[in-house]
Amino acid sequence: MGPVTRAVFASRNPGKLRELRDLLPDWEIEPIGDIEMPEEVGATFFENALAKARFALTLDPTRWVFGEDSGLEVDGLGGAPGIRSARYAGDAATDEENVSLLLSELDGVEGEGRRARYVSELVAIGPEGVELRGTGRVEGKIARERRGTDGFGYDPVFVPSGESRTVAELGNAWKRENSHRAAATQALLAQVGERALEL
């Protein structure tokens, strides 16, 4: 199989697209475009990521496709917001609204209750039908207030384990090496290597 350079990412999230392009510089990755995505009905991040990738493949079976689902799990909230991370404060919620609700729900919660993790499931499907999966997790805790300006989503309130700053303070260079999406991408590329596919 020749070098893979073109792919479709089944997402209209500009932050995720930017990060995936940074993580896979040898790929020419395009967004899915102005197409209504199917409703996320999976019970897990992986189920939703797989469904997105399979949907994109029906639109263009000649190129590789990527599907990704990710979010935040907070111990003190029973794992919420989880798969509803992007819609935590409502289906049309902004990042600001989601973070505000999260901080409100954690008001008064101390210690272990503020433990959290970022989770990313990344699925790639090739024109020949091979399905590859990468999973990434970053453990941490939820800060008491927003700090930092880089990133998106819950980055201003997520402090990775071993760090004192939020992801939004650590910045995009840190994310390229250490984020849950970076870990998922590396895990997926390891699967590519195991299958002896040439990138």
Please tell me which residue in 60, 69, 95, 155 is annotated as part of the active site. Answer: 69
State residue 168 phi and psi, 5-degree precision: -65, -25
7: which 2 tokens?
A: 């792919």
Q: What b/e readout covers 25-46, taking b as 16+ CB neighbours within 10 angstroms?
A: eebebebbeeeeeeebebeebb
Chain centre distance of CA 9: 12
Alpha helices (H) in 60-171, listed in sequence order:
95-105, 167-170
In DSSP terms, 140 is beta-bridged to 116, 160
Cβ–Cβ under 8 Å, residues 140 and 117: yes
DSSP symbol at 112: G
Task: Please give the DSSP secondary-structure letter assigned to residue 83.
Answer: G
Q: Is the dihedral of CA 43, 45, 47, 51 positive or negative?
A: positive
Active site residue 60: no
- Among 90, 150, 80, 148, which residue's Cα sits nearest to residue 116? 80
Residues with catalytic annotation?
69
